[in-house]
Amino acid sequence: MRRELLNAFAATLMTEDVVVVEATGNAAAVAAVMTPHVKKVVIANPKQVRVIAYAKTRPTRSTPASGSVRNFVWGRS
């Protein structure tokens, strides 16, 4: 992973965003880059991340349907 690309992506995040990172060999380094830009960084089990990434959610009163939830999976198109 190229650090300058990760820095550029982190700069696009908002301070109220929460980021989930798969617990792999470089998870701590990714979390260190993301932490100054977001509200919270969570390092999770890869199986849990897969479930979260493919979950189908419906808007509720606490989660507006305005598109405020953004999905990004590093390395996937």
Query: What are the boundaries of each domain within the chain?
Result: 3-53
What's the CA angle centered on 19, arms 21 and 65, to 5 degrees? 130
Task: Give the relative orientation of helices 27-34 and 3-12 as an angle to the nearest 10 degrees.
Answer: 40
- Does residue 68 have a pLDDT over 50? no
Q: Is the pTM of this model over 0.85?
A: no
SS3 per-residue string spanning the chain: CCHHHHHHHHHHCCCCCEEEEECCCCHHHHHHHHHHHCCEEEEECHHHHHHHHCCCCCCCCCCCCCCCCCCCCCCCC
pLDDT digits (tens, 9 = 90+) for 34-53: 999 999 998 988 887 777 77
- Does residue 16 have a pLDDT over 50? yes
